[in-house]
Structure 1
Amino acid sequence: MAKTPTLQERVASRRSSLTTTERKIAEYLAAHPQEAAFSSAEEIGKATGTSDASVVRTAKALGFDGLPGLKRSLQGHLQKLLTPANRLSNSLQSITDGPEAMLTATLRDHVERLQAAEHTLDGAEFRRAVELVGAARETLVCGFAGLGGMSDYIATHLTRIGHRARTASDTGYRLADRLLLLGPEDVVVTMAHNRINRELRVILDHCLQVGVPVILLTDTLGEALRDKVDVVLSAPMSRPGTFTSQATVLILLEALTIAVAAQDRDRALAATEKMNTLREELNGYGLTDETSLVLPRPKRRPRRK
């Protein structure tokens, strides 16, 4: 069953078709979902400096049957998220009692996003991503700016379980070198938040031309890029207007890597053992507490009586 696009995804996919006024209202709605869920058209118009009629037109332009439909969608989403723990997290935003309070708020905020990811992620899409990476000749992990280090981390772990992987975090002409030898037997894993930059456009266009499947990890661009990628893994990265955390991305990528390893246990374990042997040779002594790969054991079928 297909997941219903979030308000943020609707705004991202329709941004270019909105008028200046509609775009202003849409961006306000995406940035203030809690307020919008319980505000009238007049109140939203006052907050955005527009008319209530413009608010209704914007809701329809975003694919809703009007403002009531948009508010029902937001209220349903918020009902799932506003548990007592989440309300506490929201309250802690205003607390300035020192690092202990900030630690609590940050941990609860991450728990909230991970709980939300359970509702936005599609299990069938994740399975397809695992199959694509598992069958690929090579995986190219693309991440720019703050995501570059994460790309290196995941590419390294894919290599350690016996899957060829490399990264593309360069911008400008150097990105062309990373894309040049891609073929249909490879797969690209790319990450993008909020906006579609030039590098992402070039990657997606090139992959379409040469037939390379693409797995997209995103928070708001799933609907906008659905026709250009093979798999969308959509999960909230942060609340609109706040510092973007990569914790959800990291957990998604680690889950993907572990699932790929579990799909071919023998290959993963053999690669890990070979790596440990190489480390022993480099260190000059045996590895007792070094890397070991722990995979979920397959369920045993009950014996027939």
Structure 2
Amino acid sequence: MENLIARIKEGYPNFSKGQKLIANYITEHYDKAAFMTAAKLGNEVGVSESTVVRFAIELGFDGYPKLQKALREIIKSKLTSAQRLEVSSTQIDPENVMKSVLQADMNKLRVTLEEADEKSFNAIVDVILNARRIYILGVRSSAPLASFLGFYFNLIFENVRLVHTTSVSEMFEQIVNARAGDVVIGISFPRYSRRTAKALEFVSKQGATVVAITDNQNSPLARYADYCLFARSDMASFVDSLVAPLSMINALIVAIGLKRKEQIHATLEKLEKLWEEYQIYENENDDRHTSLNRD
């Protein structure tokens, strides 16, 4: 946000009267401006839609959508949960919440697929396969993503550590021995976890290979990462939309699983026997047997 504000302040003396109105509004209400069309923003400040478009071009953007995108990327990590709730209330049709949210998630999946770097993805797969130890960390809303990845990695590898933590000190205590030859996978999406970023900074200095699963190159996690896996995330009301990140993590698990097919097959055969012995899952035959006994 600071860079954009600096650009606006720098160009302010040369703006037209109408452009100054737009500049003032964006500076004071960037959270709302990010979700306004050019026409709506123009109507809000009392200028034409074309004036809004020229303003975006004056700032160096190809057009208003690019300015709007820049604002949206910034506010994802700036808005409080209360502000998210307020902003989203103007974006979601209260009569069609389910369709609105599902459509938004589908769009994020589509964009994630379009922007995916297959070469980088394959490099991450190879790095993880060759790791001596694998650490996985994600806190707050990213904790379920870390748990999901950890659950399946534990079926594939014998050297996985899912970092469980409720404090900064606990996190560092669990990664203190990470070093060269180890891979640390950090997961965080807006609002980014400072704990996760600091942890990745620490293990990077220790010589470990860092893989960041986050939303874009400007993420604080990317700063310390050797490899990045990007997936689009956004806010749906005060809730983080993590559909695309989960799908990308799923792809990572499947890709690694295909490389370790024989090992996984042996592990699953052992587990099936254990699951049956200890009745871990519901079994239709059990229900049928119970029913026959009752009869």
TM-score > 0.5, shorter chain as reference: yes
> Given the alignment of the two structures, is residue 136 of structure 1 paired with residue 137 of structure 2, yes or no?
no
Which residue of structure 2 lines up, in the alignment, with residue 93 of structure 1? 92
Which residue of structure 2 lines up, in the alignment, with residue 168 of structure 1? 163
Matches within 5 A, 1:101-120: 101-120=96-115
Which residue of structure 2 lines up, in the alignment, with residue 147 of structure 1? 142
Checking the alignment, whether the CA contact within 8 Å between 1:143 and 1:151 is kept in structure 2 is: yes
| Alignment match of 1:177 (pick from 173, 177, 182) | 173
Checking the alignment, whether the CA contact within 8 Å between 2:212 and 2:222 is kept in structure 1 is: no
C-alpha displacement of 1:95 = 4.0
Checking the alignment, whether the CA contact within 8 Å between 1:222 and 1:232 is kept in structure 2 is: no
Task: Give 1:104's aligned amino acid.
Answer: K
C-alpha displacement of 1:210 = 1.4
Checking the alignment, whether the CA contact within 8 Å between 1:30 and 1:240 is kept in structure 2 is: no
Task: Give 2:190's aligned amino acid.
Answer: N
Which residue of structure 2 lines up, in the alignment, with residue 256 of structure 1? 252
Alpha carbons of structure 1 residues 45 and 66: separation in structure 2 relative to 1, 3 Å: farther
Which residue of structure 2 lines up, in the alignment, with residue 69 of structure 1? 62
Q: Secondary structure at the match of 2:240?
A: coil
Once residues 209 and 3 of structure 2 are traced to their aligned partners in structure 1, the CA distance between those partners, rounded to angstroms, is 26
> Given the alignment of the two structures, is residue 235 of structure 1 paired with residue 243 of structure 2, yes or no?
no
Alpha carbons of structure 1 residues 163 and 252: separation in structure 2 relative to 1, 3 Å: farther
> Given the alignment of the two structures, is residue 282 of structure 1 paired with residue 271 of structure 2, yes or no?
no
Checking the alignment, whether the CA contact within 8 Å between 1:161 and 1:269 is kept in structure 2 is: no
State the TM-score, normalizing by the size of structure 2: 0.66
Once residues 164 and 29 of structure 1 are traced to their aligned partners in structure 2, the CA distance between those partners, rounded to angstroms, is 46
Q: Secondary structure at the match of 1:208?
A: helix
Which residue of structure 1 lines up, in the alignment, with residue 120 of structure 2? 125
Q: Secondary structure at the match of 1:188?
A: strand
Which residue of structure 2 lines up, in the alignment, with residue 297 of structure 1? none
C-alpha displacement of 1:17 = 9.0
Alpha carbons of structure 1 residues 155 and 31: separation in structure 2 relative to 1, 3 Å: farther
Task: Give 1:262's aligned amino acid.
Answer: L
Deviations 1:53-110 (A, max 9, x none): xx96xx7xxxx98344253646999xxxxxxxxxxxxx993242xxxx3322222221
C-alpha displacement of 1:44 = 10
* Count of matched residue positions in the alignment of Structure 1 and Structure 2: 246
Q: Flag structure 1 segments of 5+ consecutive residues without an equivalent.
A: 1-10, 78-90, 290-305
Q: Flag structure 2 segments of 5+ consecutive residues without an equivalent.
A: 10-22, 71-89, 286-295
> Given the alignment of the two structures, is residue 214 of structure 1 paired with residue 231 of structure 2, yes or no?
no
Checking the alignment, whether the CA contact within 8 Å between 1:195 and 1:221 is kept in structure 2 is: no
Q: Secondary structure at the match of 2:104?
A: helix
Alpha carbons of structure 1 residues 213 and 158: separation in structure 2 relative to 1, 3 Å: same
Task: Give 1:200's aligned amino acid.
Answer: T
User: Of the two structures, which has the highest relative contact order with CA contacts closer than 8 Å and spacing of 6 or more?
Assistant: 1
Q: Secondary structure at the match of 1:184?
A: coil
Q: Secondary structure at the match of 1:181?
A: coil
Once residues 224 and 206 of structure 1 are traced to their aligned partners in structure 2, the CA distance between those partners, rounded to angstroms, is 13
Alpha carbons of structure 1 residues 122 and 27: separation in structure 2 relative to 1, 3 Å: farther
